[in-house]
Each structure stands twice: as C-alpha cells, then as structure tokens.
Amino acid sequence: MSETKTGNIVAKSTLNTDADDNVTGTAVEVVEKVTVTASKANSITPSTTCSDSELTDIDVTPTVSVEQAALDEKWMRVAMAQATLAEAKGEVPVGAVLVQDDTLIASGYNLSICEHNPTAHAEIECIQAAGKVLKNYRMLNTTLYVTLEPCSMCAGAMVHSRIARVVYGADDLKTGAAGSVVDLLRHPQFNHQLEVTKGVLAEECAAQLSQFFKRRRAEIKAAKQAKRQAQTQDQTR
C-alpha cells in the first residue's frame, strides 16, 4: 500500500574549504531538499484512491512482488554502503549499484568535489564502471539502485545506456528527474523508458543525507567561531 508523503526533510549546507580538509579549490555550495516518501511495503501497489489534493501527485509506481521488494531493499542497502564511502571522502553521500539477475555488476558513489567534476555523480560513476565490466555501452536487463532520485544528467545517461529499471530511495525536490521536478526516465517521446520504483528505504536514505548536512553545518559553524576567536586574540595583543 503506497502512502502519501509524511513530511519533508530539508537539508541545506554551505561547504567551504575552511571547514573541509578534503576539499581544495573554490567554495562549493550544496543545497539539498529531500522528501521522504513513506512506503510501508516499498510502494508495492499504487494508490487506488486519493483526495482532490492528491490528484496531481498520483503514484505511478508499478506493482512489485514481495520477493522483488526484498531484493530491492537488499540492493538499496549496498547502495547506501556506497554512499557511506562518499561521505568518508567529504562528498554528499549518494551511492549507486547496477545489478543484473541479482548479481552486482558495478558500483559508484558521488565524487564531484574530490574530482572537481560536476558530472561525477554516483550513477555516472556506476554506469561508467559497468560499461567496462560488461564491455558494452548498452546495459540491457539491468537495474540501477541509487539512494537519491536521479538528476536530469543521470536520467539521460540511464536512457542512453538502456537500463531497464531504476530503484531509488529519497525524493529530490530540487533536481529530481524521475518525477519530482521532471520525469525523464518515463518520457513518452524518448526512445527508451525505464521502469521506476521509488521510496525504497526512503527514510534511511534521506536520514543519511540530512545527517551529513547537519554535521557539515556544525563543522562550518565551529570553524567560523575558531577563526573569529583567533582574530580577536590577534587584536588584543
């Protein structure tokens, strides 16, 4: 039974070089707005009734079997482990894995800051690695799991790679291209449409992001206070 949204988690953080040993170069501002979609059974069935206020937000998530829902959770946890690797490098924690017949093909995590590369999103890293494993630029009959709703760039790469299905955790209301802002994965005029399952471990995926931004805000605040204290001490000498 698919449930309506239970609340928004808005995480906003300014990442700068003063507070991040892992970051060099220009200051980077990251603003993430994440919505948790509660899914008691991973959106196993779409909504069949809705109020007037919900008519513009009809869940088109296809039916997923109980067995598939369990597999989805299993692989989403692997994607979350990838997100943890990103966080350890000071990156926004987003992780992705590509799976075929319940077998891991490739994985990736966000590396944009470390690599000074705005295209180094988890999904792109994963797709590029998968191409080398499969020795094919088409990734037929595969499922990509990612902890955050794909952006337009990553959705485009998924269409080009012919990935069959994408499963994601938290919605991204700012840049989500799987329905939150725009739906490029199921655009009827494209030559390939993906099956989309949203909201798998959504709360845990969103918590991973919001805790990261909360911690980063505290680190930046502490760094600014330390800087002010140092300046005050210099002035009183």
Spatial separation of the C-alpha atoms in residues 200 and 145, rounded to whole Å: 9
Spatial separation of the C-alpha atoms in residues 230 and 235, rounded to whole Å: 9
- Residue 59 vs 125, nearer CB to Zn ion: 125
* CA distances (Å), origin 161, targets 21, 53, 124, 167, 176: 36, 36, 11, 16, 19
Task: Tell whether residue 121 is among the known ligand binding residues.
Answer: yes
Which spans of this chain sit near Zn ion (rule: CB under 5 A)?
121, 151, 153-154
Spatial separation of the C-alpha atoms in residues 96 and 123, rounded to whole Å: 6
Task: Tell whether residue 192 is among the known ligand binding residues.
Answer: no
Catalytic (active site) residue 115 = no
- Shortest distance in whole angstroms from residue 123 CB to Zn ion: 6
- Shortest distance in whole angstroms from residue 122 CB to Zn ion: 7
Task: Tell whether residue 114 is among the known ligand binding residues.
Answer: no
Coil, strand, or helix at residue 34? strand
Catalytic residue among 123, 125, 203, 219: 123
Angle between helices 66-88 and 202-236 (to 10 degrees): 10
Spatial separation of the C-alpha atoms in residues 181 and 170, rounded to whole Å: 14
Spatial separation of the C-alpha atoms in residues 208 and 41, rounded to whole Å: 20
* 7: region left, alpha or beta (phi > 0 left; psi from -120 to 50 alpha): left
- Shortest distance in whole angstroms from residue 41 CB to Zn ion: 27
* 188: region left, alpha or beta (phi > 0 left; psi from -120 to 50 alpha): alpha
Spatial separation of the C-alpha atoms in residues 20 and 223, rounded to whole Å: 9
Binding-site residues for Zn(2+), in ranges, read: 121, 151, 154
Catalytic residues, which ones? 123
